[in-house]
Homo-oligomer: A and B are copies of this chain.
Amino acid sequence: MRDDAARIRALIKRWADAVHQGDLDAVVADHAEDIVMSDVPPRHDGVRGLAAWRKVWPPFFDRQARGASFAIVSLPVTAGDEVAFAHAPLRCGSPQDPAGHPELRLRLTPGLRKQGGRWVVAHEHHSIPHTG
């Protein structure tokens, strides 16, 4: 299980790097066809399926290209033999832009399952804190 946790940490770091670089194929590489995502904007039923999930990213890539960060702060992973989850808070503000929420944090909880001998992300919960 220690190896599994290390593999999952590497997977999530690769994914975060791919988001920051705007590399869509790498962003979707380790996600399940039936992924269900709770995204930051309101979609009551979530983002369902890899095709819908792919469409989430291009607007976010634009923001990254304008100088936003996507940096994992900590990455504890709880892994069994077949199922795992992680808790990955990220900094995703725009440090150079005072109007761009320089200190913004994204809270990320990926849920993973082993499939054909490899780990895939089957659920992903993204949120930002709500101050209202």
Stretch of A20-28, A34-42, A56-64 on the interface side: A34-42
Q: State the oligomeric state as a number of copies.
A: 2
- Chain B CB within 8 A of A117 CB: no
**Shortest CB–CB separation between residue A89 and chain B, in angstroms?**
7
Number of interface residues of A (CB under 8 A): 35
Q: Is A100 an interface residue (CB 8 A)?
A: no
> Which residues of chain B are near A40, meaning CB under 8 Å?
129-130
The secondary structure that dominates the A interface is: loop
Q: Which single member of B38, B39, B81 contacts A87 (CB below 8 Å)? A: B38
A46: chain B residues within 8 A (beta carbon): 87, 89, 107
Residue positions of A touching B, CB distance < 8 A: 1, 36, 38-46, 76, 78-85, 87, 89, 105, 107, 109, 111, 113, 122-123, 125, 127-131
A42-B131, A87-B111 given; 11 more Cβ-contact pairs under 8 Å: A38-B127, A42-B105, A44-B105, A45-B89, A78-B111, A78-B113, A80-B81, A80-B82, A87-B125, A109-B123, A125-B125
